[in-house]
Amino acid sequence: MIYTVISTVEKNRIQQSRDCRIIRQPLNPFPDSLTEYIENTKNESLKQERRLAYSILFCSLKAFFGLDAPQLLRTENGKPYLKNCNISISLSHSDGIAAVCISDEGQIGIDIQSEIAPEKQEKLKKRFFTDYEVKNERITAEYYFCTFCDNEAIFDSIDPDICDTDDFSSKWSAAESLMKLNGGGFGDIASLPHLAKKSKTDIREIIISKKYYLAISIKQEE
């Protein structure tokens, strides 16, 4: 199964689905190495988002897969993975929100992106973007919104809206999820057309205090 969980630094809420089911999970302390990685972040906003993302990750691994103390490692390119475990993980954060995807169905990549302002879009198009087509395809996954209260994570099921892929921000989010799936970064941006053909990408729209785009990519079966 594929689980996607989002949360916000602020106490914002998101509309629950009608068939909402709530899961509660106690918070556990981070490993020392991860605490050091987060605390060494100089930007305070970025530090909060990273702390939130890893809080979601560890609580989700326990809630959905029963993993108590998974060992988190990184590839040379910085892609996080779990040691001696067939569960794939991917994390993203942007502008006060964090998202985590965990899967036992193969490699995944996730990106969450706030709506990109028009003037910034033009700069990104000139510096990074390459022309590629991405088909917005549904992935069988469960979506949750996570809140933290009294040392406990509370998971509420949600149902994000399907997104139109003509928007630049949604396409940018899809590109990032594809590159994370591949384990690389912007050095792989030229390979986007190839990655898009070999993968399936599900793009959703989430509105909390403003609009965000959430993209999940998985490798297609050969």
pLDDT at position 216 over 90: yes
pLDDT above 90: residue 166: no
Banded pLDDT at 15 (limits 50, 70, 90): low
Q: What is the pLDDT of residues 130-146, one digit of tens each?
A: 778 888 999 999 999 99
In this structure, the dihedral spanned by the alpha carbons of residues 31, 75, 83 and 144, taken in order and rounded to 10 degrees, is 70
> According to the model, what pLDDT value does residue 13 have?
62
Domain ranges of the chain: 2-219
Please tell me the predicted confidence (pLDDT) of residue 103.
95
Residue 71, pLDDT above cutoff 80: yes
pLDDT per residue over 169-210, tens digit each? 999 999 999 999 887 666 677 788 888 888 999 999 998 888
- Say what the pLDDT of residue 187 is: 66
For the segment(s) 2-219, the CATH number from 3.90.470.20, 3.10.290.10, 3.40.50.620, 3.40.50.2300 is 3.90.470.20
Residue 76, C-beta contacts closer than 8 angstroms, at least 6 positions apart: none
Backbone dihedral angles phi then psi of residue 27, each to the nearest 5 degrees: -75, 140
Mean pLDDT of 18-43: 77
Q: How confident is the model at residue 31 (pLDDT cuts 50, 70, 90)?
A: confident
pLDDT confidence tier of residue 102, bands split at 50, 70 and 90: very high
Task: Round to whole Å and give the CA distance between 140 and 137.
Answer: 10
Which residue in the block uniquely carries the two structure tokens 């990519």?
A: 217
**pLDDT at residue 148 in the model:** 86
DSSP 10-51: SS---PPPTT--EEEEE--PPPHHHHHHHHT-SSHHHHHHHH
